[in-house]
Structure 1
Amino acid sequence: MLTNSVLSAEMTDGHHDLRARAAEYFTPEWLDKWRTAPDGRLRRETWRELAASGFMGVSLPRELGGQGLGLLGALVLGEALAGVRDGGIALAMHVQNEIAADWLVSARDPALRDRYLPGLLAGDLVACQCDTDPSAEEPATATTEGEEIVLTGRKKFVINGATADLCFVSAVLDGAPAILAVEKSTPGVRVTEVYDKFGTRSVDSAQVEFDRVRLPADRVVSRSGVSQLMRWNRVMSRMRLLIAADAFLTHRALLEHITGYVRGRNLGGRPLGAWPVNSHALARARAHQELMEAGIADAYRRVTAGGSTVPEIAELKWFCVEKANELAVLCTDLEGGAGYMWDSVSLRAHAQLRGFRMSGGSQTTMLTIANHSMACRAELELTPADAGRGRGRG
């Protein structure tokens, strides 16, 4: 993605060095060494190994302990992480390097950054982002009681939830949205379920419960207002862009695999790929791949320019993940019975992509964001006369 794309011109010596080191390091064999069991999640000590090998804080400024490689550095690392063939490690690293680190760097109280960021960069602390409530009617809530905040709620499908030491919890604090930093060791915090997943199994996903957890009042990372909304949108847009890139990389590997497969397998006296129905489907997949790559480059430039990118990146994440899933389904079918065996390249990729569908916001959420954006744009583009007629209809 980066070597031959329009973004390659923006890569510095630091990016090239990271790319070479990470490509050599992240292999299926490396992942197998650090799993708790075959197809299991990463062991806790993996994080210190990743930090010691120079893969933490790649996007952060050097003055904060990072490598100063920015969002492009995160994309370079993501491309190498695809080499392990399990998207869980990419999702876990995105949460640690991009979401948690970003919350701390931009925290309302710099003391929070000084307290926790060094531990994250050293791999001594693992972080998770706790967003998903059991339902809209059951939000996590927090109230201020003197010098403390009392937090109650449950969060589902939390990436790194079982392993994490530090939770960034979305909650309604005194009636307004906020992000709270909660140490897992705090009384009242417990993991109530670790999910058994189809794909992205190298990272755990868990349900975390907060039962009247008492926190110091200074553990508010961010709270209501325009600044809270802007920071939330920045953090989530970066995450969604990286997931879109993860889906693109999976799509690229799948397309390369299946193209070779259909050339070498005969059906009815000619290669499987020579049948028009199959050649047309793969041509569409190649077109989708070009669109993904162009969209990722455009989104990267939008984000680094500091503009508003929430709907555009939501649309991009939807497109990349959706089209990669479509290709995975096609590939399993083209492989015939072998495509439904667990050692199939196509089925394994399909499993990873199912995890990407839900991470960073579901595909339905991406479409909802895009729909709201379209409605707002349409309203802003109304002429005064149109607007008046609309008001007259009540």
Structure 2
Amino acid sequence: MSNQLFDAIDYLEKEKGIDKDVLMEALEAALISAYKKNFKSATNVRVDIDEESATMHVLSRKTIVEEVENSLEEISLGEAREIDPNYELEDVIEVEVTPKDFGRIAAQAAKQVVTQRLREAERGVIFSEYIDREEDIMTGIISRRDSRFVYVNLGKIEAKLAESEQMPTENYYVHDRLKVFVNKVENTGKGPQIYISRSHPGLLKRLFEMEVPEIYDGTVEIKSVAREAGDRSKISVHAENPEIDAVGSCVGQKGQRIQVIVDELKGEKIDVVEWSEDPIVYVSNALSPSKVVDVLVDEEDKATTVIVPDYQLSLAIGKRGQNARLAAKLTGWKIDIKSESQAREEGLLMDDDEEESDDDSYFDDNEDLF
């Protein structure tokens, strides 16, 4: 073998971080495999590699016997004593069996090992670089598409945007720049695989973190996100400092901040609401833009009955139940919406006259106190 091979091994160790001993073991295994394949050898061989002389020797372990029946595994006592007179029957010796043209085969095997290890090292570098980008936003360029995937070039790797992760209202064209949410990064047998999304709620959360400094620095906290990609989303925010307007910070002056996010999501409607630990307040806020008359809370079942003005019922429920559905996802509470008239019929809400009558009866029953 030439010195070039050992130079390549030294390079891989220094520049790619591949342990030299690991590489030499892999090379030895490849040479043994190549020898067995090309010369139909038994399994009892090893390769001795001498770095200083840049040479190698194939050695076969053989047992000393009186009569040789298998020349691949046995050697006669006479032949053994020609090597060393002290050998006896049943001793095991190593005999050099390096073929004359083994250099060519060895070079091919060495090239395969080096190429494979280099590829593995590059995959390792790519994996290490992208694993830190999990649950983050990356910007790529659409390189191609087919019936199932949109392929996005993220620099050193091409990621697949599956149909289930695409926004139904969005068109994808080759060479377009695209912001994607990195769901997961895996190191597979075929190399690193990156799973990306345009519909994940995490994309909306990260966009707000990028666009709103108060969220980035922790002054305003995103509490929850509910999203139906391409159509409508709700996000709840909170600031510990009562002097800070959490919702206003996200919306921005004249709606500039949120408009940037809406544009990125191709017109997706976004409701930003104030989070509250009080479920009555939180659920009322979550049903924005509808007005709420009252919220009845069932702590045990984590359920609420929300009463809204008759004329606001359809708005509170939303098209195909979307507003109520998103509010329930956002808050984590079950939400049953009823109109005022329906609530009165079911005895959940009293008329104003009934309330006044109750107040009058209190004064009548207690007139001696006044």
| Greater fraction strand | 2
When normalised by structure 2's length, the TM-score is 0.20
| Greater fraction helix | 1
**Which is bigger in relative contact order (C-alpha 8 A, separation at least 6)?**
1
When normalised by structure 1's length, the TM-score is 0.19
Specify the structure having the higher radius of gyration (Cα).
2
